[in-house]
Amino acid sequence: MAEKLKCYLVSYNGVKNAGGVEKVCYYLQQIMIQKGFEVVIVDKGLIERSFLGQVYLQIFKKLHIVSFSFLASLFVANKRKNGDIKIAHGFNAPFFRTDYLFVHGTMKGYATAVGSVVGRSAKILFWLEKKACINAQKILSVSQNAIEEIKKFYTKRDLNFTVVNNGVDPTAFFLKKKMT
């Protein structure tokens, strides 16, 4: 019997929390299972249980988000086979070519919008976001705004973008006019 193709779904929190990213991960997991894929959720827990994750934890005691991005990229690069699908959320696996990058907004766009002071840590995260965008074959976004942020901050090249609303019907929910 032929081995099932795998879908590597990379997201720091996986499917176990109740936030928007986790909800999208859960739905993607269900869709890929229905399509016949074996889904591997590459989240913080999986990376912490991996050999490299264990070594990292012995040294640093905590798996930081930037380290997760690097280790998740190594994990998927080492495990994937031809035909497997790779889906990453945000900057969670920027060091390999993804079939799909799911973007819920950009950190640089948020920092710019709220006028945050941008330190070295934020600049590293912005760089990871840029790498993830450049390495994506197709970018799925929950909004046109996130796509515009990617174009403005990270790449001018023509990428394959699609808006997939985050479980929200835009005909039923819309911005109200500001009350004066």
The whole-angstrom separation of Cα 23 and Cα 15 is 7
Domain boundaries, the chain: 6-163
CA 61 to chain centre: 24
- Dump the DSSP string for 18-79: -SHHHHHHHHHHHHHHHTTPEEEEE-HHHHHHSHHHHHHHHHHSS--HHHHHHHHHHHHHHH
The whole-angstrom separation of Cα 153 and Cα 143 is 16
Q: Each residue's pLDDT tens digit in the chain (180 positions)?
A: 567 899 999 999 988 766 778 888 888 899 899 999 999 999 999 999 999 999 999 999 998 888 999 999 999 989 988 889 999 988 888 888 889 998 888 889 889 889 888 889 889 989 999 999 988 999 988 888 888 999 898 876 667 888 887 655 555 555 556 555
CATH homologous superfamily for 6-163? Glycogen Phosphorylase B; (3.40.50.2000)
**Both tokens of residue 11?**
């997201």
